Amino acid sequence: MERRALTTLLGPRLHTLVGRLRRQAGETATGATRRVNPDAVVDCAVYVNGRRETGRLHYADAYARARRSRNAFVWLGLHDPGAAVLAAVGQVFGLDELTVAQALTDGHRPTVQRHGPVTLLVLRTAAYVAEGELTATSEVVDTGDVMVLLGDRFVVTVRHGASGALAPVRREIQGRPSLLAEGPWAVAYAVTARMVDLYLEVAAHLEQDLERVEESVFAPDRNADIQQIYQLKRELVEFKRAVLPLQEPLRALVSGPDGGPPAGLRRWYVDVEGRLTRAVDRITSYDELLNSILQSRLTQLAVDQNNDMRKIAAWAAIAATQTAVAGVYGMNFARMPELSWRYGYPAALALMATAAFTLHRMFRRSGWL
C-alpha cells in the first residue's frame, strides 16, 4: 500500500524528470533545440574549408555554427519567401530593412549594391519554354530573378519565379571544394555562371525559332503571320532586358575596388564576363535579324497589297468598258447608231467581248493580272 502511494506521488515528477533529461540529451547532441526550417527554405548547409557539414540545421543554428568555426560559412537558399520568413532571416543575418524589402519583391534590374557589410547581387533568370508551333501568343521565354546576399560568414540566395533552380548549382560546386573554400563569393560566382549558361541555352533555342520564322517569311507560299513575328520580337526584348544590364555589374565586380570577390576568384568572374559578352552579342544579332525579317515581311505585305490593287484596277477597267457600251445603248435615244440594223445587237456584244479580251491580254502582259 505504501509502495503504490509512493508510485502515485512520484509518477508525474518522474515523467517530468525523464522528459527534461531527454531534452537536455537532445540539446547536447545537436548543440541547440531542434528547430524546423520554413517551407521557403530549399536548402541550408554549413561549409568548412569548402566541404559541407553533415546534417541540415535551422538557418539560425547553422549561422551560429559557422561563426564558431574557422574558414566556415553558411549557404541558405530561399524560394519565393514571404515577408515573415525574410524578416526572421534578416534578423538572424543582420540585414537592414531596405535589403529585406528588396529581397521580398521581384522584377529588379541586374545590379550590385553594398549595404554596409552586406553585398547584394541581383541576377535575372531565364528559361526557354518549348512550343510545338509559334503562334501570336507563344511565350517562349520565362524570366525571374535571383538575389544573392553576401556577408562575411554567410550567403543567402533568394529566388523568385519558376526558372533558374539552384539545386544543380549547389551539387556542382560541392564537387569543387577547392573553389568553394574561397567563401561566399564562390557561391556568387557559381550562381552567376549558371545564369549565364542559361542565357546561352535560351539564345540557342531562339536562334532555331528565328530560322523557322525566316524560312516561313521567304518561302514561296509566305505563310508567316506578322503577329507571330511581333510576338517573337516581344519575347526577345524581354530576354534582352534580362541579359544586357548584367554587363555593368559584372564589370564592376571584376575591376572594382576592394570589397568584391577575392583575388583567387577574379579570373573566374572574368571568364563569366566573357561568356556573358557572347550571349549579348548573340542577342544583339538576333534582334537585328528579327528587325530585318519584320521589315521584309512588312515590305512583302505592301507589295502583295499593291499587286491586289493592280488586279482590282485591271478588272475594274475591263468591267468599265462593258459598262460604257451597255450604258450608251441603255439610254433609249430615238436616233442611235445601229438601232435599225439587223446585226446591231450581236455587233455590240462582239465589241464588248473584243474590248474585254484585248484589255485582259494587255494587263496580263504588263503583269497586272
How confident is the model over 216-228, as a mean pLDDT? 73
Burial of 33 (0-12, 13-18, 19+ CB in 10 A): exposed
Which one-letter amino acid corresponds to residue 65?
Answer: R
Paired residues of 184 in beta bridges: none
Q: What does each C-alpha distance from 339 to 250, 333, 350, 352 come to in angstroms?
A: 93, 10, 15, 17
pLDDT single digits (tens) 269-307: 999 999 999 999 999 999 888 888 888 877 777 777 787
367: helix, coil or strand? coil
What is the per-residue pLDDT for 25?
36
The pLDDT, as a whole number, for residue 111 is 92
Separation between Cα atoms, residue 287 and residue 248, nearest integer Å: 20
Neighbouring C-alpha atoms within 13 Å toward the C-beta of 315: 6
- Residue 5 reports pLDDT greater than 70: no
- Return the percentage of the chain with pLDDT > 90, whole number: 41
Residue 26: predicted pLDDT: 39
Q: Please state the pTM of the whole predicted model.
A: 0.75
Average pLDDT over residues 61-87: 93
Least confident of 31-35, 249-253, 260-264, 292-296: 31-35
**pLDDT on residue 12:** 45
Mean per-residue pLDDT, 142-151: 93
pLDDT of residue 335: 66
Structural domains in the chain? 12-299 (3.30.460.20), 308-366 (1.20.58)
**How confident is residue 309, by pLDDT bands cut at 50, 70 and 90?**
confident
